[in-house]
Amino acid sequence: MNELSLFTGSGGGVYGSKLLNHRIIGYVEFNEYCQKIIRQRIDDGIFDEAPIFTDVRAFADIAEVYRGFADVVTAGFPCQPFSVAGQRAAEDDDRNMWPATIDIIRKIQPEVCLLENVPGLLSAGAGSLEDGTGRPVCGYFGNILRDISESGYDAQWVVLGADDSGFGGKHRRKRLWIKCRRRE
């Protein structure tokens, strides 16, 4: 499967994707130090040779070139707007990159998207919506689910931590995982 990695960081998620035998066809990462690490991993033959784009908002302008080529889009979009350790301003935070993320997904139309964030995303911001089962979903997460659905995807989500059964971690580090599959 061909994967486009948004918000690649230093490539921790890419290691997991490589275990799944995904071929990385593009990296999008703003941080210069992380870009250097990605480049070094490419040069070392650990990561796939592919372009490294620097700003997800600028990449959104050209993302359509990946349509029909990227099967999977992964994105751990910045958590600061949603984290319980911050202001939780959601859509009012300049670091909110969800709009650019969904814009890219809409332009590329991959079969699958795997999104990652903090559990605080489930309750940050304003707004409310039902998730289709009658359960209320409040906050900005409701907006995200609506965006995903209106873009032609069904979504499932779960919160997992390193300390959950089977992972064996000594710390909690809970993360929200959202899997989106394009509707037929």
Strand partners of residue 26: 4
CB 12 within 8 A of CB 27: no
> What are the φ/ψ torsions at residue 66 (nearest 5 degrees)?
-90, -5
CB 102 within 8 A of CB 108: no
Active site residues: 79
Which residue, 72, 96, 83, 106, is CA-closest to 3? 72
What is the distance between the alpha carbons of residues 50 and 9, in angstroms, rounded to a whole number? 15
H helical segments located in the chain: 12-19, 32-43, 56-60, 98-108, 140-150
